[in-house]
Amino acid sequence: MSNLLGLEVKKVTETPPEEVERVRNWINSEEYKEKNFARQALVVNPAHACQPLGAQLCAHSFEGTLPFVHGSQGCASYYRSTLNRHFREPAPAVSDAMSEDGAVFGGQNNLHEGLENAVALYKPKMIAVFTSCMPEVIGDDLTAFIKNAKQKSIVPKDLQIPYANTPSFNGTHIHGYDSMLVSILQTLTEGKQVEGRCTGKVNIIPGCDFNTGDYREYKRILKEFGVPYTILADVGDTFDSPCDGTYNIYAGGTKLEDAADSINGKATITLGPYATPKTFNWIKDNYSGKHVSMSMPMGIEKTDAFIMKVAELFGKEVPASLKNERGRAVDAVTDSHQYMHGKKFAVYGDPDYLTGYVSFLLEMGARPHHILCSRGSKKLEKELQTLLDGSMYGKGCKIYMNKDLWHLRSLVMTDRVDAIIGDTHGKFAARDAGIPLFRFGFPVFDRVNKHRYPIIGYQGVVNMVTEICNKFIDIKDETCEDRYFEMMR
Ligand code: SF4
């Protein structure tokens, strides 16, 4: 073997080809799977990102808001590049670039200098501060630091600076999202509750959803109903802004005054119960109107539940346009169910996506054979099990909580399935198993425009059914014998 200079390189340890082959086969065996599942102190390829990444997504969802990372520059680059690669849009955020001296003496100087520069350079309406691991490890006191910044007039006294502690050694991006959202709402709504006032609007909390098409779909459904709304929080336009030759650092986002007034709403619905428990609990104690927590509306049944809830809360009939849409989605399912019926899937992802995938698959007569979550809970496990128990297609399907994608690989290599549903990180396991990966979660780096196609609502059903069934038909066309190669499928 030679290196880039063409010089001969001698390997320190030679591994005979037969040994490579033995290990290659061994990691696909039951014996290896058992060892893999016995692993305790090591995580390999977890299906989640760290807390601040979710906090940054949340910060981008508000008008004129600059996400501000109190912590290391490298961490900030990671969140920015991950969001950037998923949406193929800029994800502008700043960092106060703590380094060795910050780690020793605390990060207050970094934070103050960073805030001063951020205000001067980027003129935000609001700065949303969140932390990376380092300031959390040394115990930086964000409350005091931000108070001091205002007292010393480093930033204008009236500038809103919500902040969230987002320690990454605990939880995932959905927990960071939740902490940032509750902090922003607490900051914006302070003193805004007016006795007897009702905005007449529904506040919709989509949860930590990385699909911009979903935000548009919620808005479209509510427009069909004629129900006024505030999306808490709306990242739909932020990461799907038009390419018109100009650059807007603060594209889209929920208007700050709408978010402030959301405390006087007629009703608040969270559709990301696993991604927003802290926010929703706080809202229950502080917001006017009705409070509803329900699953992400993926699949026919869960979409029906959402539509009926809006109708009930606002005393309205379901509009004919939505009834027709439902009919078309049911037709799409009927026309194509035979391509998914009985097929086995391995699914993984964030809890709110997972309940949606499982519900949708069972409706299609498919089997969510392996269900895996890298940071799950007893509550999630119970909800998934209830879904499985409620369908004949759930029989024999298994749930794996707090397992990673290396576990998933063992599962799909030893107990085969027809396809995987998840994010781009699952492509290695899918390739090894020789099965397709349907990318509906986050992040999706290796396909284009996926985030523009909603997976919620009736339109989401049509999109998912179309993508999955057509792929199975493609496989049939590519692999069948000549005599079975047909025009009709
Ligand atoms: S896990 Fe911690 S160190 Fe790693 S990117 Fe996230 S915040 Fe930074």
Same domain for 328 and 296: no
We report the CATH number of the domain holding residue 174 as 3.40.50.1980
**Domain assignment present for 27:** no
Of the residues 316, 338, 364, which one is the last residue of a structural domain? Answer: 316
Same domain for 336 and 473: yes
- Would you say the C-alpha torsion 122, 127, 132, 136 has a positive or negative sign? positive
Report the pLDDT value the prediction gives residue 87, as an integer from 0 to 100. 96
**Domain assignment present for 8:** no
Q: Determine the Cα–Cα distance for residues 439 and 376; give it in Å rounded to an integer.
A: 20
Which residues, 6+ apart, have CB-to-CB distance to 24 below 8 Å? none
420-452 residue pLDDT tens: 999 999 999 999 999 999 999 999 999 999 999
Same domain for 157 and 249: no
382-422 residue pLDDT tens: 999 999 999 999 999 999 999 999 999 999 999 999 999 99
**Domain assignment present for 12:** no
The candidate with the shortest Cα–Cα distance to 186, out of 175, 178, 194, is 178
**Domain assignment present for 458:** yes
Which residues, 6+ apart, have CB-to-CB distance to 307 below 8 Å? 221, 297, 318, 322, 326
The candidate with the shortest Cα–Cα distance to 197, out of 257, 262, 286, 282, is 262
Ligand 1: residue of 48, 57, 73, 78 to mutate (most ligand atoms within 8 A of CB) is 78
Q: 457 and 297 in contact (C-beta within 8 Å)?
A: yes
- For residue 147, CA distances in Å to 118, 154, 176, 209 come to 17, 10, 22, 32
- Would you say the C-alpha torsion 192, 196, 201, 204 has a positive or negative sign? positive
Q: Determine the Cα–Cα distance for residues 233 and 208; give it in Å rounded to an integer.
A: 9
Q: What is the value of pTM for the model shown?
A: 0.95
Ligand 1 centroid from CA 52, angstroms: 8
Residue located nearest, by CA, to atom 7 of ligand 1: 132
Q: Determine the Cα–Cα distance for residues 238 and 90; give it in Å rounded to an integer.
A: 9
Residue located nearest, by CA, to atom 8 of ligand 1: 75
Same domain for 402 and 372: yes
* Ligand 1 atom at minimal distance to the Cα of residue 78: 5
Of the residues 300, 316, 332, which one is the last residue of a structural domain? Answer: 316
Same domain for 400 and 303: no
Same domain for 354 and 297: no
Sheet of 437-439, strands arranged across: 398-401, 367-373, 344-348, 419-422, 437-439
Ligand 1 centroid from CA 221, angstroms: 37
Beta-bridge mates of residue 70: 131
Same domain for 167 and 266: no
221-255 residue pLDDT tens: 999 999 999 999 999 999 999 999 999 999 999 99
Of the residues 298, 316, 334, which one is the last residue of a structural domain? Answer: 316
**Domain assignment present for 1:** no
In the DSSP assignment, the letter for residue 315 is T
| Residue 146 binned pLDDT confidence (cut-offs 50, 70, 90) | very high
Same domain for 231 and 107: no
162-202 residue pLDDT tens: 999 999 888 999 999 999 999 999 999 999 999 999 999 99
Residue located nearest, by CA, to atom 3 of ligand 1: 133
**Is pLDDT of 1 > 80?**
no
**Domain assignment present for 148:** yes
Same domain for 219 and 277: yes
Q: Determine the Cα–Cα distance for residues 148 and 263; give it in Å rounded to an integer.
A: 28
Ligand 1 binding pocket (C-beta < 6 A) is 50, 52, 72, 75, 78, 132-133, 168
**Is pLDDT of 206 > 80?**
yes
**Domain assignment present for 308:** yes
3-state secondary structure of 11: coil
Same domain for 353 and 470: yes
Ligand 1 centroid from CA 70, angstroms: 12
**Domain assignment present for 6:** no
Report the pLDDT value the prediction gives residue 170, as an integer from 0 to 100. 87
Ligand 1 centroid from CA 68, angstroms: 15
3-state secondary structure of 127: strand
Same domain for 332 and 288: no
Which residues, 6+ apart, have CB-to-CB distance to 319 below 8 Å? 224, 225, 226
Ligand 1: residue of 43, 72, 169 to mutate (most ligand atoms within 8 A of CB) is 72
What average pLDDT does this structure show over 132-139? 94
Q: 237 and 221 in contact (C-beta within 8 Å)?
A: no
- The total number of structural domains that make up the chain: 3
Task: Name the residues annotated as catalytic.
Answer: 133, 137
Ligand 1 centroid from CA 101, angstroms: 18
- From the CA atom positions of the chain, what is the Rg in Å? 24
Ligand 1: residue of 75, 81, 374 to mutate (most ligand atoms within 8 A of CB) is 75
Residue located nearest, by CA, to atom 5 of ligand 1: 75
Residue located nearest, by CA, to atom 6 of ligand 1: 50
**417 lies in which domain range?**
322-479
The candidate with the shortest Cα–Cα distance to 455, out of 422, 413, 416, is 422
Same domain for 366 and 218: no
